[in-house]
Amino acid sequence: MTERGTLLEARDLRVEFPARGRRARAVDGVNLGVGEGEIVALVGESGCGKTTLARTLLGLERPTSGSVLYGGAPLTYSSRALKAYRREVQLVLQDPTGSLNPRHTVYEAVAEGPRIHDMPDEGERVISALSRAGLRPPERFVHSYPHELSGGQRQRVVIAGALALDPRVLVADEPVASLDASVRGEILALLLRLRDDLGLSALVVTHDLGLAWNIADRVAVMYLGRIVESGPVEQVLTSPSHPYTQALLSVLPESPSPVVLRGEPPDPTRIPGGCRFHPRCQVLASGTAAEAGVDGRCRTQPLAVISSSTGSQAACHYAAVRRGQT
């Protein structure tokens, strides 16, 4: 995928759940790769399937079809294999208060992972992880309890708990959503420093395109279970091709003209035919797609699943016409 090679990959991944007598297609054909030392932002509205995709990449959900690959090898689901895998690929949750046991000290919280994996030099690992997470001097924090820390410090403890296992990939689900604006930048800067200093890769799940701009090398935009646009962050966020990406970007403060999408995302048990975004698409509603001669395709012709290529791609009939691809 990149010169550095693909480390973590979803290949034609599908995850379905039973829902009211039907099947909800939470992840509906996703190809996504995270390269070594690369930060990828996975962006989209609530309910689009981001968290389900992240959980599946972590081995917490089993795919209905398709596969998760780590280091080029398919993930297997035996207890021993998953235990080894989760040492390498660590989750960082969005709510540090909820993910930390209020009765455990910082030391106990960070030491939990090394103890589970029977790793040596527990004390040294805890001190080193706290220091790398920016809690310095670490000795000042080891006997503290979560309620004695600020929100930013608690998030650093959660990150330290992951770092204590020496992982190669972090999957961060809304890592700054619960933090004050004043400390969000500090946590994002920490993730960038970990990438630069330790060579860590990261998949950052977020609804915030501004966060993606500040931290990611690449961005993948998800809608109704599928990646609809992906590519280098500067290219996608300065010249978005897909109308959904354009709508998400339009709500940023510097945008001159917000796009108001019609209605809510469709029920994942009743995914529309054709382009799954067409019932809400501003390009179709405005008549622009009809002028380009693709309105019929938008409503009836399904789009191919985007590949895991690093180039810029958009699953959109109108964008394809504009690029001269059809």
pLDDT tens, residue by residue, 274-290 = 999 999 999 999 999 99
- pLDDT > 80? residue 97: no
pLDDT tens, residue by residue, 210-233 = 889 999 999 999 999 999 999 999
What's the pLDDT score for residue 2? 39
Residue keyed to tokens 């080193």: 128
Second-level CATH architecture of 6-221: 3-Layer(aba) Sandwich (3.40)
Mean predicted confidence (pLDDT) in 91-117: 92
What's the pLDDT score for residue 95? 73
Residue 263 pLDDT level (bands cut at 50, 70, 90): confident
- pLDDT > 80? residue 1: no
What's the pLDDT score for residue 326? 57
What's the pLDDT score for residue 3? 44
Sign of the Cα torsion 203, 8, 237, 306 reads negative
Q: Answer yes or no: are the C-beta atoms of 204 and 191 closer than 8 Å.
A: yes
Tell me whether the omega of the peptide bond preceding residue 137 falls within 30 degrees of 0, making it cis.
Answer: yes
Listed in order, the ranges of the chain carrying CATH 3.40.50.300 are 6-221
